């Protein structure tokens, strides 16, 4: 199908980033969130991001203004009813996502496609709460969305070939590199990444090395752009913990058991950059 209007559910870090790349690629975008304040923060983040692209000469001032003009905001999910594609980008909780998809399924016309930006939750299970499981898939973007080129397209058990082809073509139009992934816990990215982060936390927990030295080993020895503990802070320790629980529950394999230190830090509210302190302190 021809996608021209895109809805984004959630104006947070991922939602506003996704909205930005769609708008800069010529799509009409509607962002929905539960209140005016998160929507205002989302638009402000987009404007700030676009300004940086203008400063670096990546886009013109006119392009920036045109992109913002393509974006509408709303607190009413019904305003997304005319969208060809809706991408959900709310927090990692099955019940919350399922509730949103049930409502969207009732509102959107039958040929519209639903996609989730979930980083780990079962796509087949989410699709099953709708009457269009063949027109449902995962569209997993990476943070920061305007800069990261990868999109994991997750095919649920019932995702049709037509839906996959449409989403693949859409991702390519956004300038992204789509990768086809089957619906298993953690997909590819987090199934590989989160055990590494978890093992780094275990190494710190067991006193193998300091946090700085663990990160230095991975940066200089493995050529990673940032160490796993710094990366965990960037992602959010609560998000890391949620994904590890999905892996642990999904595979029933003890190798995915979250490190007790990670659990305690989340309980203490030390979530990383967003809370001002995780493994490191932030101004």
Task: Specify the pairing of strand 85-88 against strand 113-116.
Answer: parallel
Run of H or E including 171: helix 161-173
List the catalytic residue out of 49, 64, 116, 119.
Answer: 119
For the record, the structure tokens of 208 come out as 């193998």
Beta pairing partners, 71 = 29
Q: Which residue is it, tokens 């987090």?
A: 190
Q: Cβ distance 134 to 160 under 8 Å?
A: yes
Active site residue 140: yes
First to last CA, the chain: 47
List the catalytic residue out of 64, 88, 116, 152.
Answer: 152
Active site residue 224: no
Burial 130-167 (b: 16+ CB within 10 A, else e): bebbbbbbbbbbbeebbeeeebbbbbbebbbeebbebb
Angle at 173 between CA 168 and CA 175, to 5 degrees: 100
Q: Which residue is it, tokens 């990366």?
A: 231
Active site residue 172: no
Active site residue 190: yes
List the catalytic residue out of 49, 64, 116, 140.
Answer: 140
List the catalytic residue out of 16, 49, 116, 190.
Answer: 190
Integer Cα distance of 196 and 199 in angstroms: 5
Catalytic (active-site) positions? 119, 140, 152, 190
């Amino acid at each position: 199908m021809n996608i021209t209007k895109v809805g984004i559910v959630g104006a947070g870090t991922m939602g506003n980033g996704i909205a930005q790349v769609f708008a800069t690629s010529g799509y009409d975008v509607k962002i929905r969130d539960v209140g005016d304040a998160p929507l205002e923060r989302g638009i402000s983040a987009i404007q700030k991001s676009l300004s940086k692209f203008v400063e670096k000469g990546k886009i013109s001032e006119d392009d920036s203004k045109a992109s913002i003009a393509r974006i509408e905001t709303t607190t009413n999910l019904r305003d997304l009813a005319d969208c060809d594609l809706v991408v959900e980008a709310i927090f990692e909780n099955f019940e919350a996502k399922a509730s949103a998809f049930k409502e969207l399924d009732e509102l959107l016309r039958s040929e519209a496609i639903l996609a989730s930006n979930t980083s780990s939750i079962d796509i087949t299970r989410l699709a099953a709460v709708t009457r269009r499981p063949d027109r449902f898939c995962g569209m997993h973007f990476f943070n920061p969305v305007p800069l990261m080129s990868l999109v994991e397209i997750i095919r649920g058990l019932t995702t049709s070939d037509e839906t996959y082809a449409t989403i693949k073509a859409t991702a390519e139009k956004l300038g992204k590199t789509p990768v086809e992934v089957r619906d298993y816990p953690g997909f590819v990215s987090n199934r590989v990444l989160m055990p590494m982060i978890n093992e780094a936390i275990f190494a710190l927990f067991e006193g193998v090395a300091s946090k700085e030295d663990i990160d230095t080993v991975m940066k200089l020895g493995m050529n990673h752009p940032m160490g796993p503990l710094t990366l965990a802070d960037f992602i959010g320790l609560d998000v890391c913990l949620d994904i590890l629980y999905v892996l642990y529950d999904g595979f029933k394999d003890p190798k995915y058991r979250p490190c007790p230190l990670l659990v305690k830090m989340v309980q203490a509210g030390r979530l990383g950059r967003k809370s001002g302190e995780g493994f490191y302190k932030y101004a």
